[in-house]
Chains A and B, each alone.
Chain A
Amino acid sequence: MIIQLAFTALFLGLLFVTAVRRFGFSPLKYGIMLFCCFGMYFVWNPNQMTHLARMVGIGRGADLIAYATTGLFFLAVVAGVIRERRASDTLTQLVRKLALRDARQP
Chain B
Amino acid sequence: MTLERSISNPTNLWFVIAAYNEGSMIMEVVRRVTPVANVVVVDDGSADDTADRALEAGAHVAVHLVNRGQGAALQTGIEYALSQGAAHVVTFDADGQHDLDDAMAMVEVCRNQGVDMVLGSRFLGRTVNMPLSRRLTLKAAVLFTRLTTGLKLTDAHNGLRVLSRAAAGRLRITQDRMAHASEITSKIRHLGLTFVEHPVTITYTEYSLRKGQKISNSVRILEDIIIGSQR
Whether chains A and B associate is: yes
Q: Which residues of A contact B (CB under 8 A)?
A: 81-82, 85-86, 88-89, 91-92, 95-96, 98-100, 102-106
Binding site secondary structure of chain B: mixed
Would you give the shortest CB distance from B176 to chain A, in whole angstroms?
5
Are A95's CB and B174's CB within 8 A? Answer: no
In the assembled complex, the Cα of A86 lies from the Cα of B76 at a distance in Å of 18
Are B79's CB and A92's CB within 8 A? Answer: no
A82 / chain B contacts, CB cutoff of 8 Å:
227, 230-231
The number of chain B residues with a CB under 8 A from chain A is 26
Binding-face segment, B62-70, B102-110, B120-128, B138-146: B62-70
Are A92's CB and B61's CB within 8 A? Answer: no
In the assembled complex, the Cα of A91 lies from the Cα of B69 at a distance in Å of 12
Find the A residue at minimum CB distance from B79: A100
Binding-face segment, B52-60, B111-119, B157-165: B52-60
The contact of B61 among A91, A95, A96, A104, by CB within 8 Å, is A104
Are A86's CB and B231's CB within 8 A? Answer: yes
The contact of A103 among B62, B228, B231, by CB within 8 Å, is B62
Are B42's CB and A99's CB within 8 A? Answer: yes
In the assembled complex, B83 has its CB within 8 A of some CB on chain A: yes
In the assembled complex, the Cα of A100 lies from the Cα of B62 at a distance in Å of 6
A99 / chain B contacts, CB cutoff of 8 Å:
42, 62-65, 76
Would you give the shortest CB distance from B52 to chain A, in whole angstroms?
10
In the assembled complex, B72 has its CB within 8 A of some CB on chain A: yes
Binary interface encoding of chain B residues 75-110 relative to chain A, with 1 for a CB under 8 A from any of its CBs, else 0: 110011001000000000000000000000000000
Are A96's CB and B55's CB within 8 A? Answer: no
In the assembled complex, the Cα of A91 lies from the Cα of B64 at a distance in Å of 11
A89 / chain B contacts, CB cutoff of 8 Å:
174, 176, 231
Q: Which residues of B contact A (CB under 8 A)?
A: 40, 42, 51, 55, 58-66, 68, 72, 75-76, 79-80, 83, 174, 176, 227-228, 230-231
Are B68's CB and A92's CB within 8 A? Answer: yes
Are A106's CB and B59's CB within 8 A? Answer: yes
Are B66's CB and A95's CB within 8 A? Answer: yes
A-B contact count (CB 8 A): 58
User: Contacts A99-B42, A100-B62, A100-B83: A92 and B55 contacting too (C-beta < 8 A)?
Assistant: no
* Cross-chain pairs A/B with CB under 8 angstroms, 20 sampled: A81-B227, A82-B231, A85-B228, A91-B66, A92-B176, A95-B64, A95-B66, A95-B68, A95-B72, A96-B64, A96-B75, A96-B79, A99-B42, A99-B63, A99-B76, A100-B83, A103-B40, A103-B60, A106-B58, A106-B59
B60 / chain A contacts, CB cutoff of 8 Å:
103-106
In the assembled complex, the Cα of A56 lies from the Cα of B56 at a distance in Å of 70
In the assembled complex, the Cα of A92 lies from the Cα of B65 at a distance in Å of 10
Find the A residue at minimum CB distance from B177: A88
Find the A residue at minimum CB distance from B71: A92
The contact of A96 among B58, B76, B228, by CB within 8 Å, is B76
Are B59's CB and A96's CB within 8 A? Answer: no
Are A88's CB and B176's CB within 8 A? Answer: yes
A92 / chain B contacts, CB cutoff of 8 Å:
68, 72, 176
B174 / chain A contacts, CB cutoff of 8 Å:
89
